[in-house]
Structure 1
Amino acid sequence: MINAHIWKRKPPRIAQKSLWRPFTKGGLGVPNVNLYYKASLLAQGLTILERPSPPVWLALENACTANGSIPLSLWAGSKLPITKTKSLLPTTVSLLHNWKRSTSLFLRSNDLLLAAPLQALAARTPDIHLDNWLKQGISHVRSLMTPDGIKPFPDLIREFHISPRELFSYLRLKNIIQECRINMGEPDHSTPFILKCMGKLPKTKALSLCYNMLLLHNKPSKTSYMSKWESDLGMYIPIEVWHYAQSLTKQASHSLNQWETYCKLTMRWYLVPTKLAHIYPGADDRCWRCHNCEGSLLHIFWSCTHITSLWQEIHALLYKILGVTVPLTPECFLLHIFPDTLPVETAVFTIHCLMATKTAIEHRWKSPLSPTLPEILGRLDSTHAYERMASRLTSSQTKYRSRWQVWVDYRKGEPPPQGP
């Protein structure tokens, strides 16, 4: 239903994964309703584990289980023994089933059990009593472990003053740990999800954390439009550089129109002549300005002879205003992939100037005429007025002045800053 609304029942122009990806990861941030439902169940489980006192409904549900503890079963990932005379609510059953399926996507096997309270091991074995262990300060499974496995019993006696009479309990714990294949492996780098389970991230919202873990559980990979741009430009762009450019562009302006224009260009939405010729065989694939070259996306926005002079004027304008030289390359001017030496505030104003130019090109779509420099300056004035009003509403005047003072000085005719 959401996709039908977005695309107005027409074929989608980008992959569905690009719709769901966050803005900072090269997507549009459209909510994935199915993942939100699973994340809400995970968040409910997180709430159970991190709260010192369980909610009232949990006490009622615990009465339906043989071991009387749903939280320990969440930690241990074990099946919950249900009494014959009672049954859990459907919502709780969904929570338990989803917990095991979803956590397996972004956690290694038994990562949760390694960080679990020591009582979680008792949920896997009946009639094991660990009260004496808890009194001696062994509160979590991790306390028993070394990178090579469970600590030898003499070491536990020296470290925690465990009674030698607990040898049988130790052997049972060792057997459980070996059956579960619990292993610390690499040095501890607990994920935010595990830290939240342990109550160490009280300010982090559980639902947002779970949704992002489900959405981004795979290693970030390049989208098809990123690969196509690299092919067009004949260069390799690391995915971290893509993400930084997209994040910087998103944070540069309060205007959704600017962000929309950037997304439409980078994600290659535009129906340029070459794309139309592919959809409709026999259609003219030449540029509507020069009528000589193929009208590819890169040609329409960058290499057409009718548009290159405009970009040269913008390049000179940026140097006159900022006093620095921004490389006149398509990756800089179209994708906002700037050199590392360019200061952030300078890059932000550059983005505003480039977005005004690309919006002007977009507004002259299929027109043989190219935008003019006075038109770009007028659009920059409008953008400046919009950002000034937005800064007042969001109490961000300091950030506004640091980004736009060079433009105010330029329009007043004051001497621009000297180049390096």
Structure 2
Amino acid sequence: RISLAKSKLPYDLGGLGVPDFKLYFWASQLRAVLQWTSSGETQDWVFMELSELPCNLWDLILFPVTSVKLLPDIVNNFTSLSLAIWYKVHEFTKSLVKVSPYTPIWRNVRLAPCLLDLGFGQWHSQGIRNVGYLLDKGNFMSWIQILQKFALPRTLFFRYLQIRHILLSTGKQGLISMFPSPLELRVVGIGQMEKFVTQTSQLIILDLNECKTFKLRLLSEITLDTWKDICFLLKNVTLASKYKLNHFKTIHRLCYTPTRLHHMDPASSPMCWRCKDSNGTLFHIFWECLRIWHFWSEVSVFVQKVVGWPLPESPVLFLLLDVSDLDTLPKGRLKFLQTALLVAKNVLTHHWHDESSPTWLEWLNELIACMNLEKIHYMVNLNSQTFVQTWQAFQDVLVSET
């Protein structure tokens, strides 16, 4: 069974493209936010809604990065609904943790010194309306740069130290997000109404994809384009459906690992079935467990002989099949590499509950069976050249080893 959240992902992200009506409704309500922040020609109803807002709190209502419960009482139900949806979207995408570059400075409840200090009121009157005015190409500006850009008195230097300390020193990576999120850029930055609902709903989904989880777990930078290439392998990495299903479960973290079973039943142990020393997460079961390192080492040595190139010991390569760092290899060798690693992952699932790890010979036999299946397919489709480009080097090494 596939969860609804996975099935709603686009095809190029490994999902089924099922429409999410709730996100479509949210995106339609965010059109009002686009009209409010638009600097171009606006309609009459925009001025009517803005006139009913507390003037001194208008900026704080839009980007305070706090909670929907802090919204003041608003008479207009349409305005109240749109603002509530704006907050829900940020909570839904978990983007309330960081301060957006669009977040205002003056009288911001999230930035305590700016709430009552009249010095920040001078910042506001001199044109420093939000946090983004303090940034230059993703870097926090120095005091000299700010003085050159804005006509601020030098006596406000202490306020600069305060705001810089709050934004850069809170937490491990600071409180501020140096760049606005794609959703904020679409709603506030771009300001185009064409295809707004469809594009905005897709951006909300993109903020939820598994790419973020793997970035944190593997401590590796995975771009959206790379993630799309990884998901695209579901269609063309091999012919056997069982290997495609294995890759689908890996990228969407659908395997029943000890930690997942423990979450379902607290009586079940969350420890790894093999080593019994660490939590049995998906990453540990497939990569970190010391019991399977010998297996991965043997697979890596043999595959390197076939492709004729050293392989980095990277989980992004071995688990997600990302070969972007090996793009100098011929296309046939890359396809063999991905197929061989995918077969290795599938062999690991044969010993899912076992304390023992799979053997190199077991992997080799299944890889040969996969090769024979593809040989039949290419012969039927009169495309033997592709088969030779992919498997000839493997056959040569196999003959020399036996």
- TM-score of the superposition, structure 1-length normalised? 0.49
Amino acid in the other structure paired with 1:386: L
- Aligned-partner Cα distance in 2 for 1:21–1:398: 35
- Per the TM alignment, residue 20 of structure 1 is displaced from its structure 2 partner at its CA by 4.2
Amino acid in the other structure paired with 1:314: V
- Aligned-partner Cα distance in 2 for 1:260–1:321: 26
1:326 aligns with 2:314: no
1:288 aligns with 2:273: yes
Assess, with a 3 A threshold, how the Cα gap between structure 1 residues 23 and 318 changes in structure 2: closer, same or farther: farther
- Per the TM alignment, residue 246 of structure 1 is displaced from its structure 2 partner at its CA by 2.2
Preserved CA contact (<8 Å) 1:21 1:215? no
- Aligned-partner Cα distance in 2 for 1:387–1:223: 35
- Aligned-partner Cα distance in 2 for 1:214–1:320: 48
Q: Once the two structures are superposed, what CA deviation does each residue of 1:39-91 show, in whole Å capped at 9, x if it has no partner? A: xxxxxxxxxxxxxxxxxxxxxxxxxxxxxxxxxxxxxxxxxxxxxxxxxxxxx
Query: 2:177 maps to which residue?
Result: none
Query: 1:65 maps to which residue?
Result: none
Q: Where does 1:31-180 land on structure 2 (aligned, <5 Å)?
A: none
- TM-score of the superposition, structure 2-length normalised? 0.51
Alignment counterpart, residue 25 of structure 1, candidates 9, 13, 37: 13
- Aligned-partner Cα distance in 2 for 1:394–1:23: 26
- Aligned-partner Cα distance in 1 for 2:202–2:214: 23
Query: 2:36 maps to which residue?
Result: none
The higher radius of gyration belongs to: 1
1:394 aligns with 2:381: yes
Q: Once the two structures are superposed, what CA deviation does each residue of 1:234-256 show, in whole Å capped at 9, x if it has no partner? A: 22211110111222453121221
Preserved CA contact (<8 Å) 2:14 2:234? no
- Aligned-partner Cα distance in 2 for 1:258–1:282: 32
Query: 1:345 maps to which residue?
Result: 332
1:218 aligns with 2:205: no
**Residues 291-300 or 277-286, more deviating:** 277-286
Q: Which secondary structure state, in structure 1, belongs to the residue aligned with residue 206 of structure 2?
A: coil
- Aligned-partner Cα distance in 2 for 1:225–1:403: 30
- Per the TM alignment, residue 401 of structure 1 is displaced from its structure 2 partner at its CA by 1.4
Amino acid in the other structure paired with 2:206: S
Assess, with a 3 A threshold, how the Cα gap between structure 1 residues 279 and 252 changes in structure 2: closer, same or farther: same
- Per the TM alignment, residue 384 of structure 1 is displaced from its structure 2 partner at its CA by 0.2
- Per the TM alignment, residue 352 of structure 1 is displaced from its structure 2 partner at its CA by 1.1
Q: Which secondary structure state, in structure 1, belongs to the residue aligned with residue 202 of structure 2?
A: coil
Query: 2:104 maps to which residue?
Result: none
Preserved CA contact (<8 Å) 1:23 1:250? no
Q: Which secondary structure state, in structure 2, belongs to the residue aligned with residue 413 of structure 1?
A: helix
Preserved CA contact (<8 Å) 1:249 1:348? no
Alignment counterpart, residue 237 of structure 2, candidates 252, 262, 265: 252
Assess, with a 3 A threshold, how the Cα gap between structure 1 residues 266 and 412 changes in structure 2: closer, same or farther: same
- Aligned-partner Cα distance in 1 for 2:251–2:286: 11
- Per the TM alignment, residue 317 of structure 1 is displaced from its structure 2 partner at its CA by 0.8
Amino acid in the other structure paired with 1:24: D
1:366 aligns with 2:353: yes
Preserved CA contact (<8 Å) 2:230 2:320? yes
- Per the TM alignment, residue 382 of structure 1 is displaced from its structure 2 partner at its CA by 0.3
Assess, with a 3 A threshold, how the Cα gap between structure 1 residues 256 and 410 changes in structure 2: closer, same or farther: same
- Aligned-partner Cα distance in 1 for 2:399–2:231: 32
Q: Which secondary structure state, in structure 2, belongs to the residue aligned with residue 289 of structure 1?
A: coil
Query: 1:103 maps to which residue?
Result: none
In the alignment, structure 2 segments of 5+ residues that lack a partner are 22-193
Amino acid in the other structure paired with 2:6: S
- Per the TM alignment, residue 407 of structure 1 is displaced from its structure 2 partner at its CA by 1.2
Q: Where does 1:189-200 land on structure 2 (aligned, <5 Å)?
A: none
Query: 2:391 maps to which residue?
Result: 404
Preserved CA contact (<8 Å) 1:364 1:370? yes
Query: 2:369 maps to which residue?
Result: 382
- Aligned-partner Cα distance in 1 for 2:211–2:376: 34
1:270 aligns with 2:258: no
Preserved CA contact (<8 Å) 2:11 2:17? no
Preserved CA contact (<8 Å) 1:249 1:351? no
**Residues 315-324 or 388-397, more deviating:** 388-397
- Aligned-partner Cα distance in 1 for 2:382–2:198: 34
- Per the TM alignment, residue 329 of structure 1 is displaced from its structure 2 partner at its CA by 0.9
- Per the TM alignment, residue 410 of structure 1 is displaced from its structure 2 partner at its CA by 1.7
The number of residue pairs the alignment matches comes to 226
Assess, with a 3 A threshold, how the Cα gap between structure 1 residues 369 and 23 changes in structure 2: closer, same or farther: farther
Assess, with a 3 A threshold, how the Cα gap between structure 1 residues 403 and 303 changes in structure 2: closer, same or farther: same
Aligned-residue identity in percent: 23
- Per the TM alignment, residue 301 of structure 1 is displaced from its structure 2 partner at its CA by 0.5
- Aligned-partner Cα distance in 2 for 1:347–1:313: 19
In the alignment, structure 1 segments of 5+ residues that lack a partner are 1-6, 35-190, 194-212, 416-420
Q: Which secondary structure state, in structure 2, belongs to the residue aligned with residue 284 of structure 1?
A: coil
Assess, with a 3 A threshold, how the Cα gap between structure 1 residues 249 and 351 changes in structure 2: closer, same or farther: farther
- Per the TM alignment, residue 25 of structure 1 is displaced from its structure 2 partner at its CA by 2.4
Q: Once the two structures are superposed, what CA deviation does each residue of 1:95-129 show, in whole Å capped at 9, x if it has no partner? A: xxxxxxxxxxxxxxxxxxxxxxxxxxxxxxxxxxx
- Aligned-partner Cα distance in 2 for 1:19–1:347: 29
Query: 2:296 maps to which residue?
Result: 311
Assess, with a 3 A threshold, how the Cα gap between structure 1 residues 33 and 239 changes in structure 2: closer, same or farther: closer
- Per the TM alignment, residue 217 of structure 1 is displaced from its structure 2 partner at its CA by 7.1
Preserved CA contact (<8 Å) 2:9 2:209? no
Preserved CA contact (<8 Å) 1:26 1:242? no
Assess, with a 3 A threshold, how the Cα gap between structure 1 residues 276 and 348 changes in structure 2: closer, same or farther: same
- Per the TM alignment, residue 397 of structure 1 is displaced from its structure 2 partner at its CA by 2.0
Root mean square deviation of aligned Cα:
2.8
- Per the TM alignment, residue 218 of structure 1 is displaced from its structure 2 partner at its CA by 2.9
